[in-house]
Amino acid sequence: MPDHPLRLVSHHLCPYVQRAVITLTEKGIPHERQYIDLANKPAWFRRLSPLGKVPVLCIGKAVLFESAVICEYLEETALPRLHPESPLQRAIHRAWIEFASATLAAIAGFYNAPDAAAFEERRGQLRERLAWLDRHLPGAPYFAGEGFHLVDAAWGPVLRYLDTFDAIDDFGLLEGLERVVAYRRALASRPSVRDAVPDDYAARLRDFLARRPSHLAERITTEA
């Protein structure tokens, strides 16, 4: 890795930031994490990020944006390797990383659903994505067995959302999905995954959800 320090521009709740943090941690790469408010983006950040999104990795004067690009750069420049050796298996893992991103989109649809009918529809859509993962998980405790890979760094932040959802109510998202339940448990106990968020992450996420104009926010208010 370069001798100069790495700075990861971050947001407290961003799951894509978490992917980068997990990768940095698994590779033992020292870095500085700088949190910003995405609702009030500083001018210097707007100059760095053409898409206005985090994470952004600053390597000296060079700037990388998009979590997939950041993680692939780290994979190419630092050990240990977190992709499989086989080109086919690497491609399979990359496909499932994309599916993790699609599942994050389904999670956003779930917590942004405006009314009970839309909420139930999007709950079903999220449940189906998780069921698809359950049917196709090829290994245990992690995605491909004992070894931790970049695909696991992608799924850790996805399944972390369920901790907060479970604290609100039982939405049946993992009912009968024993492989995903075990996978979630293994990822949650991995230090790199566990420590990829600030200590107040759960409280921040619940507050964020409670302030959405959504059916889930109404459920949170009712539970409170």
Distance (Å, rounded) from C-alpha 92 to C-alpha 120?
31
Cβ-contact 55, 67 below 8 angstroms: yes
For residue 104, give both structure tokens. Answer: 């994050």
Distance (Å, rounded) from C-alpha 177 to C-alpha 4?
45
Residue type, 190: R
DSSP string, 10-76: E-TT-HHHHHHHHHHHHTT---EEEE--GGG--HHHHHH-TT--S-EEEETTEEEESHHHHHHHHHH
Distance (Å, rounded) from C-alpha 166 to C-alpha 182?
16
Residue 71 is a catalytic residue: no
**Nearest residue to 24 (alpha-carbon basis) of 191, 144, 159:** 191
Name the active-site residue from 8, 14, 64, 100: 14
Residues acting as catalytic residues:
14
